[in-house]
Amino acid sequence: MNAAYKKCGIFRYAQPYMLCNGYRIGPNNKPDKAKFQLADGSYRTKPHQAICPTAVYKQSPYYQEEVVGMLKRILVDKDSSDGIMSNWEPYMFDFKGCFCPRCKEEFIKYSGLKKADIDEAWPTKIIINHKDKWVKFRSWQHAKMCVQLEKTINLRMISC
């Protein structure tokens, strides 16, 4: 069917299950450095294993191997799609965030707040003490993830 669609000029989309909802990116074999860490120190594993936003926009080894690898298989190796469509509903992460050490460092840089103030509030009071900056930071991180995914997909599309 793929060959017939291409011959007819029909643009094909894929919606990979492991590329949606903001943080369900990549399969559930993430190393700790790529996992979305909750404020209590545990990792977000239900209903799926979530990814730390820095693992995406800083292109961690997990991102390069698993996520880029998945996209390459779909777009280049199998040539089963011309583009990626994602069901993107990150509502389950509203007013939450990844509280890993990498995200803490990113928040310190982004917010311009004193490290000591963030250390004192991190992780459980950061949303209360710095809600406006935290919400903007989380939106900024989410946007950086979307930009990185688009760059990755477009790069793979160009190489087809």
Q: Band of the pLDDT at 160, cuts 50, 70, 90?
A: very low
Judge contact between 74 and 81, C-beta under 8 A: yes
pLDDT at 67: 93
- What's the residue count for the chain? 160
Pair 62, 33: CB distance under 8 Å: yes
What φ, ψ does residue 65 adopt, rounded to 5°? Answer: -80, -50
Q: How many CB atoms lie within 10 A of CB 37?
A: 22
Name the one residue in this structure whose structure tokens are 């599309």. 157
Residue with token string 């509502």:
91
Give the pLDDT confidence score for residue 92 in this predicted structure. 59
Of all residues in the chain, the percent with pLDDT exceeding 90 is: 52
* pLDDT band (50, 70, 90) for residue 110: very high
pLDDT at 21 > cutoff 80:
no
pLDDT at residue 90, as a whole number: 66
Q: What is the residue-averaged pLDDT of the chain?
A: 88
Site of tokens 């919606």: 15
Q: Among 4, 89, 3, which Cα is nearest to 47's?
A: 89
Average pLDDT estimate for 123-133: 92
Task: State which amino acid sits at residue 71.
Answer: L
Q: Which residue has the higher pLDDT, 9 or 111?
A: 111
Lowest mean pLDDT among 4-13, 15-24, 38-47: 15-24
Mean pLDDT of 31-46: 91
Residue 95 pLDDT > 70, yes or no? no
pLDDT digits (tens, 9 = 90+) for 60-85: 999 999 999 999 999 889 988 888 88
Q: Where are the domains of the chain?
A: 2-158
